[in-house]
Chain A
């Protein structure tokens, strides 16, 4: 693969199991520094599962197991002595449905820094403002930071969640279909945000929307499903990484026929 640039995270033969059932098999993939990497593929292909491995959110799922290596800052994140809490303080996450805490906008954004023990009012004020500006939300809410985060519109809520996650100054932001619950205008706003305000962050985004991947990302990884009939008419399915390339290349001249079929809308 003719891919250049500095790598922030490197996945090396990553397989994920849920209760000993294979979910994703043998993913090897670099995540480029300060670039946007999109994960696409049909539902059930394991793209979200891989994303959630990157900051060990899968640890919260009972019976989840990860094989292989995920190298971040020269360290395997799944090594025994690595603390998942510390990992998540460096690799932040934005979820599918906007999930602000039932608290004020200010408290939402200040939550992360407070967890770390930042308590000085002026420091917190500064972080809140910087983060809200970073998520292009400051101008809309500056007058009323005491308002509940739940009172905002869906798109604003999602930008609040982005502000909340950049408040702890992560290296990487993982986005799990961040626009799937939003209308087209709000979606556009988030895409613009990723391109402009968040351009210094390494971003990994899972999306169902191929136009979004095409528009917003620098690199794209395409996942698909493999099946195998088991005894008793049960079918075993797991996800695999089919192709990883620069977005333009993947969409215009995919190497794999399966990729071509998928982006042409022939399945999925």
Chain B
């Protein structure tokens, strides 16, 4: 085989051949290489974004958990102190100090500020404390009368995630609180409200979203589909702040009994004992009727059986309705639905997630091969039986992914919560009270002018990190399920 070291050049007898490179050997294409690196950089920006998020949230969270934050307790020294005194006398309102609290006391030495930390070793009474001077390597210095005494606070992860504790004196359970102004930093009320609202939202979004998806993919004629689909697209395109307005100006007033500001009387949960009894009574009757009809339908045949089955269905539906109506009264103390409440906001979050769930579920249902449907119909199954026994099991992973993504959106939803669910963290089972989710809290706290050194500022990032981790887990899980689901049909 001849293998000459040099390739013979083309004869340059036409414009094309003149322009063509003389040899087939590689020559550098700097422009191509440049473009490729620019494009790679574009792709890498997403990695930088993630790294940015992780570093930002992580770094400030570490600050939150390690730096000594100061909480102004409105307390001042009531008497001057020498550098040796171990007794400190305080005046002023604010909160009480306890054993093991750290005090931050301003002082001066030779005109230079020399602040001192003290550890409370004994509480004599509200005004008189015994302290260990010069705590944490600060210098014990004399202090004047009337100097501000702040609480030095270092939040531990155990406090951040503290559900609550039993008060040894009263034996009562004291739930964890998020109240930065009195230096309590348990994120549990915020986390629980976040999860609670997501649960309520999913109670709306999953059945409606799935029902929509099933209808669009299996029942709707092409023309009907073409009109219904844009409705979902519009719903998906409405900014969340508009949904917040909707929650505050329609859903909540409607729950309070005056939709569109027109009083209709009553209000949805009707939190009073009389109705509570009524609902539970009706629930009991419906449940008994269901059992009676159901047993009856199993023991007879013919048209009576059909009738009894239908009766049991109706009874079951009634039981559900009365159960739902009785539920709020069981969870709440009697009273009105709050102007700001978790329930209304969560319903709206549920509504705004419907398109997310229905679109992804519909895609999953449509991806089920035709042959499976035909096989089911061929065996004499009705459309409903095909949906429940063939299509939903086949598309289950896609539907699951959609639901997970929906939860993730509900967890992170900010504007509706910030506008309609109220301010102030609240650990309560009653959804008709105001409560604050993580995202809502971040929005509320950061809308004021925050000092970058304050504990509030750092706490935002610790909360943000919590939120990020929650949604990340949901998203990763959803992506994992989706990628497995893809493999099934390829």
Contacts and interface: CB of A to CB of B under 8 A. Distances in A.
Interface of A: 10, 12, 69, 71, 73-77, 81-83, 86-87, 89-90, 112-113, 116-118, 120, 123, 127, 167-169
A90 B15 contact: no
A10 B1 contact: yes
Contact of A83 (B8, B15, B16, B25): B25
Contact of B25 (A81, A117, A120, A167): A81
Given A74-B4, A74-B8, A169-B14, A116 B25 contact: no
B370 interface: no
Contacts of B14: 169
A73 B20 contact: no
A76 B3 contact: yes
Contact of A117 (B2, B3, B19): B19
Interface string B293-313: 000000000000000000000
B453 interface: no
Contact of B7 (A73, A118, A127, A169): A73
A211 B267 CA distance: 84
B16 A90 contact: no
Most buried by B among A12, A112, A168, A169: A169
A89 B20 contact: yes
Most buried by B among A74, A76, A90, A113: A74
B107 to A, nearest CB: 71
B137 interface: no
Interface in B1-37: 1-4, 7-8, 14-17, 19-21, 23-27
Given A71-B1, A71-B3, A74-B4, A90 B24 contact: yes
A83 B26 contact: yes
Contact of B15 (A69, A82, A89, A123): A123
Nearest to A126: B15
Contact of A118 (B1, B15, B23): B15
A53 B2 CA distance: 20
Q: Is the interface of B mostly helix, strand, loop or mixed?
A: loop
B33 to A, nearest CB: 13
Interface in B33-70: none
Contacts of A112: 16
A167 B8 contact: no
A169 B8 contact: no
B26 A81 contact: yes
Nearest to A113: B16
Contacts of B19: 113, 116-118
Given A10-B1, A74-B2, A74-B4, A86 B24 contact: yes
B7 A75 contact: yes
B16 A167 contact: yes
Interface string B184-198: 000000000000000
Contacts of A86: 20-21, 23-26
Nearest to B23: A86
A77 B16 CA distance: 21
Most buried by A among B3, B21, B24: B24
Nearest to A71: B1
Contacts of B25: 81-83, 86
Contacts of B24: 73, 75, 77, 82-83, 86-87, 90
18 contacts: A12-B1, A74-B8, A75-B24, A83-B21, A83-B24, A86-B23, A86-B24, A86-B26, A87-B24, A90-B20, A112-B16, A116-B19, A117-B19, A118-B19, A120-B15, A127-B15, A168-B16, A169-B17
A81 B21 CA distance: 14
A68 to B, nearest CB: 12
Contacts of A116: 16, 19-20
Interface string B425-467: 0000000000000000000000000000000000000000000
Contacts of B20: 86, 89-90, 116, 168
A169 B19 CA distance: 12
Contact of B3 (A74, A81, A90): A74
A77 B1 CA distance: 14
A234 B14 CA distance: 54
A201 to B, nearest CB: 15
A127 B16 contact: yes
A82 B16 contact: no
A83 B27 contact: yes
Contacts of B26: 81-83, 86
Contacts of B27: 83
Given A81-B25, A89-B21, 9 more contacts: A12-B1, A69-B1, A76-B3, A82-B25, A82-B26, A83-B24, A89-B20, A116-B19, A117-B19
A82 B15 CA distance: 23
A86 B29 CA distance: 12
A168 B21 CA distance: 12
Contacts of A76: 3
Contacts of A168: 16, 20
Nearest to A74: B4
Most buried by B among A12, A71, A73: A73
A87 B19 CA distance: 15
A162 to B, nearest CB: 16
A208 to B, nearest CB: 27
A10 B19 CA distance: 27
Contacts of A74: 2-4, 7-8
Contacts of B21: 83, 86, 89
A82 B7 CA distance: 11
Contact of A73 (B8, B16, B17): B8
Contacts of A113: 15-16, 19
A120 B19 CA distance: 12
Contacts of A75: 3-4, 7, 24
Nearest to B19: A116
A26 to B, nearest CB: 15
Contacts of B23: 86
Contacts of A12: 1
Nearest to B6: A74
A113 B21 CA distance: 13
A82 B2 CA distance: 17
Contacts of A169: 14, 16-17
A73 B14 CA distance: 20
